A and B are shown apart, each in its own frame.
Chain A
């Protein structure tokens, strides 16, 4: 594989979509744990709605990505194992306070956005005939990317409201 190759095989594309599933799963599990870590005084409807929406959105993205992976005849991501890994490391890497929770959430959404952005660019730069419909693939990834961008804005709005 030379340094010039980008996404050039079904296997490579499937692997990148699997990585996206893991990134979504990380956001989903951490969002669920975040709310539990807040003190009662820090819990309110806005933050609960934000974390719940983040969780639901990640689950929806994950399912859409899994459907693409399925079309490529690739194996599904071992989600239970990933969930256990995220849970196991949350104790060491989880945020300690409310601002940390928001920052962690923001970081998760930004990372996912960056990944989709790079992936879309790499697919558009590739002339590979993938084993699924290229237009559907790009449309799905662009929709998910747009939702990640909205997610970043939503978290930022909550952060600004607290300042």
Chain B
């Protein structure tokens, strides 16, 4: 998953939690980067028609941005569930975050063939807990 997709996913989730535009500060916290980096990427996403930025309010995804963010979120869910269900990784949330930049959607799709993902994915993703809702509460343990 490339950096832009990681940003789109973060904006999508922050928007969901705040029920409105995502602030630069919230995105910087979530992605553990500087607000300047966030602003730079938002500019790029805006140029590509994936997000709209309103000063003092925050960033909102366009329809195309939402579509791409949901695909990125689905890829992320596959990584989480694969780590938890197949490799039995206890610390799957932190490991999924560490691996997402190296695993693209083609590879995730292949891994998806052996995991039992819910049909409603990624709608059930728990934005507050920042993990697949089906896996909430199972950190520190594996299947």
Contact = CB atoms under 8 A, between A and B. Distances in A.
A114 B103 CA distance: 9
Contact of A26 (B99, B103, B106, B114): B114
B89 interface: yes
Contact of A12 (B99, B107, B115): B99
B106 A114 contact: yes
Contacts of B109: 111
A15 B99 CA distance: 8
A7 interface: yes
A137 interface: no
Of the listed residues B31, B94, B106, the one surrounded by the most CB atoms of chain A closer than 10 A to its CB is B106
A12 B97 CA distance: 11
28 contacts: A1-B32, A1-B98, A3-B3, A3-B31, A6-B102, A7-B102, A11-B95, A12-B98, A15-B95, A15-B98, A18-B87, A19-B107, A22-B86, A23-B111, A78-B86, A78-B87, A82-B86, A85-B86, A85-B115, A86-B113, A89-B113, A89-B114, A111-B107, A114-B106, A115-B107, A118-B103, A118-B104, A122-B102
Given A22-B114, A82-B86, 17 more contacts: A2-B31, A2-B32, A3-B6, A4-B33, A6-B102, A12-B95, A15-B83, A19-B103, A19-B107, A22-B87, A23-B110, A23-B111, A77-B87, A85-B114, A85-B115, A115-B103, A122-B102
